[in-house]
Chain A
């Protein structure tokens, strides 16, 4: 079958690879209907998460049709249209039982790697390096889904493929930032990043009752999209002073909840961005945390900063003094998709949550390299490149 594979730093190709097989009794095989690029893939492409091997299939946000199930799969059926959480989780360990699915104890086949890096191992993730389980990704005609009863969710008939696709990762990730960030009625919420996850976080904050939601980015086309489809206010940080704007728009208090949806390759106008870029290239720090610093600085006293963006290693000049002296709560997580996907599909069915606009480019799988180039370089107004592996 055809698949989009990681070949090396900044090298992606479409190759013939073996079709996946049922390996565990709780596996399912999906025929992939739609699969989409994610900003966190760019960290893999750029070599910032150095646990990829040549030939690894990329992709972790997808939807498909069940074509085969293992003998211990009881809930899913052949022929069902399902959306799959990007994180592989067993659904039965203590972490899953407590809604912390991305921290699943049984979702990775290589837990020693991340235990060494981070102290403990999170769950696995499709197409996201051997540090997160080494599972083949979804940019392929078929994909293996472990723990299918716990990670694959039937899509209601009234929700289109185009909309449901983003229930796999972007929507639950964004929702989690607002939910676990504690957004409540009357809050002022600032969201760094107006990509798909940032837009979903902003929409979640609105639906959870925030009085004002302010999205921050440098691309006007993304900010205009956010205003039109999500309904939040915007700041272009290349034109406007973020600190001053947030202070003015929050009555001098600062945002109650600051959601960072940018990750380890953040840009920013301040001198620390240049310093971060040099240090990252020289591997003196692994991640560029500009947006996190700005979120901590601007958050109100006693407020919450939620880090949704993907980080892999260590950062420099982390403003711990500001966080401590202002009494901030700092939370973060990989996405607990299984916790939110059924609710999000219901909201999609009701029209509360729309996502189709995020798929700015739809391409056949064979155009994977071009799709990633447009996505990475933000060409032609690209927000997300969606691949259709089976036409």
Chain B
């Protein structure tokens, strides 16, 4: 291999190295105080940590899937939530209010209990 062949290759490699280094440098606006930080208040703890947020999003997604949400839509649903909303609901979807209106089962049960207490019926002999 002659020197004349090597030179351009060397320069191309060098150029590529320079470009790849430029790409992994921190973005220019890294030290901008973002609106998301202002939303969270200025508590350091709440500062947006991209990795942590992604983990929380994944958690919420799994919780929704476990609650029967369609896998085809779950991604979009979770992505629509803000970082603040994600941190509010993460780990709590089992217990958070889920508005549904009065279910018929609940209504029947309620009436039965009232009737039982009033002494009209006796289908819960323990009472």
A is bound by B: no
Interface set of A (CB-CB < 8 Å, partner B): none
